Structure 1
């Protein structure tokens, strides 16, 4: 009986929150009760900010509605669909939440230095979304997985993210991250921030994929890490005269603790020969070359270069070259209007079909679809 009552209460809350969301993107004001329902709905799903900050987020969304075509279209569709009665069924509310979550990018409205929260991404929920690099991003992100499992695609790497894993995603990281299909949930803390120049050097993390930092927190240390994150969340919900100082202190503490878990191999001196091999590949990215040519340029035998390159990068010389090509292709697709075939040819893909197939295989969509999505994000102010 209690479970049934809780289900009914949750469904009612979702319907009321949907109405509040719709009013916001219609450009209408919320009453005190509507604001409370709206805030509670998001607070229960990991948005750990004060009511005052939440109200400012709403105001920011409404100030920028004229440039948010996707939100305006969503408001138009649902205003017409609901008609005069303007109420959601439980099924409609769930559908609306999914659509709202998919088009709202918090990077466009977040203004405070640090935003932290805890998210439960359950299969089928409105928050069960794929995360990817925003088109216009200047913030760094930390993600600490508590339970469940996620899959990270970055460059041409596919990595499984499990409990205890911390990801550091700088603004230039090209990635997609989502709940693993074999897991029912992926629950994690997140921190969105701007690094301070005094401790920026502490963000030199091991990178198992291009521009993506990673560390595994030992099981014996996870309670400490979680306490720091919970203190960050608590601090964000209880304003005080020292709120921002505490915030900065706790964020740095989290980063320093993560740095202390690096394996010794991360601190070893890089091999100058591998650095030279990488430079050779970068300088000849669009050209055909052999392993023997790379080895000759760095004064090594081909077999020794192949083994050492794989040890340092996790990829073969030619897989690393292909990864760099695709990263550069993605950059050009986002930032230029050059023809797709031209971009492929510039990066050594003489066959446009092969370029498209390779891009789709590793990035998850065709070059055309990737460009269209990024241009759509920019048009919508994301």
Structure 2
């Protein structure tokens, strides 16, 4: 059940009360901005971020640079910033306030098809919640993500990611055009299975049994739907998982290599450099220099 939304309690999860660093799978909070307040300034990240940010306006109006122009986000409107899209936003000057909920996240790979909405402006996806029930449901889901994210226990991250997945699915279900272009559900299921067994040396025959197709058919269908082979896709997911472990743990490179399915750390380092342009050690050092919110 989604958490009850209490805007006063949400202030405890705002930059007024704490600082944020974006060095994990997921970071979430609430930013209440009023005219002349401590938070009344523009965020400016010209190169965007490594992950996505999804934003829900609760009250007032925000002003967001979208390419070569500005857009305004109104109450009950949602924005989705993909990786690398510039962030330049703040309270709209004629609005008394701009209160908004936000979540920064690195998506699970099978979410990617759901993170394309029907309306895009300057690289920023946008949508409006259509009725009071949808608004209350979305606010409660954001609250659930924020609460789970703030707790440090064995299941908190998994619970937060579960609530975030429901946000993403709910938004995608509201996109009639994008829905028509969805990936075959059998391939989504297969992607989930591969990620759940990312360190295992799975064969095409084993994967085919998961979705009751022949090996040749599953190989053809996967490439048709994902524009790459199964094992090229798995390699990218292993690198994504390795990046997360480098960002969030103190594990050695050799331990991380094993955790994502590579017995030889040198081979893993070559694969990682091929995808990221730097070695795993260089990546970790660079990521540690990320600025706080």
1:139 match: 51
What is the Cα deviation at residue 165 of structure 1?
Answer: 0.8
- Judge conservation of contact 1:170–1:211 (CA < 8 Å) in 2: yes
1:173-202 superposed Cα distances (whole Å, 9 cap, x missing partner)? 134211111111000001011111121211
Cα deviation digits, residues 117-138 of structure 1 (max 9, x gap):
1110111112112123354731
Say if 1:252 and 1:48 are closer, same or farther in 2 by CA, change over 3 A.
farther
1:115 to 20, 27, 33: 27
Q: CA deviation at 1:265?
A: 4.8
Q: Is the contact between residue 164 and residue 219 of structure 1 (CA under 8 Å) also seen in structure 2?
A: no
Greater Rg by CA: 1
Matches within 5 A, 1:144-159: 144-159=56-71
- The correspondence for 2:102, drawn from 159, 178, 190, is 190
1:110 deviates by: 2.6
TM-score between the two structures when normalised by the length of structure 2: 0.53
Matched, 1:244 2:212: no
User: For residue 46 of structure 1, what is the aligned residue in structure 2?
Assistant: 14
Runs (5+) with no aligned partner, structure 1: 1-41, 58-105, 270-379
| Separation (CA, whole Å) in 2 of partners of 1:113 and 1:48 | 23
Distance 1:142 1:177, change over 3 A: same
Higher share in helix: 1
Taking a change above 3 Å as real, the CA distance of residues 204 and 135 of structure 1, as seen in their structure-2 partners, is closer
Give the alignment's TM-score, normalised by structure 1: 0.42
- Kept after mapping to 1: 8 A contact 2:48/2:87: no
SS of the aligned residue for 2:78 comes to strand
- Calculate the aligned-residue CA RMSD, in Å: 2.7
Aligned to 1:228: 141
Pick closer, same or farther for the CA change 1:236–1:47 going to 2, 3 Å: farther
- Alignment partner of 1:178 out of 84, 90, 107: 90
| 2:171 corresponding residue in structure 1 | 258
CA distance in 2 between counterparts of 1:154 and 1:181 reads 17
1:217 matches 2:133:
no
CA distance in 2, matches of 1:133, 1:206: 25
Shift, 1:158, TM fit: 2.5
Query: After superposition, what is the alpha-carbon deviation per residue over 1:235-291, rounded to whole angstroms, capped at 9, x for unaligned?
Result: 1233332111111100110111111222x355578xxxxxxxxxxxxxxxxxxxxxx
Classify the secondary structure of the residue corresponding to 1:234. Answer: helix
1:7-48 CA distance string (max 9 Å, x none): xxxxxxxxxxxxxxxxxxxxxxxxxxxxxxxxxxx9636159
Superposition deviation, residue 172 in structure 1? 1.8
Quote the residue 1:165 is aligned against: 77
Give the 3 Å change call, closer, same or farther, for CA 233–175 of structure 1 in structure 2: closer
* SS of corresponding position for 2:144: helix
Conserved? CA contact 1:152–1:161, under 8 Å: yes
Q: Separation in 2 of the partners of 1:160 and 1:137?
A: 21
Aligned length, in residue pairs:
174
Change (3 A) 1:190 1:48: farther
Select the structure with the greater relative contact order (CA < 8 A; seq sep ≥ 6): 2
Taking the aligned partners of 1:148 and 1:176, their CA distance within structure 2 comes to 17
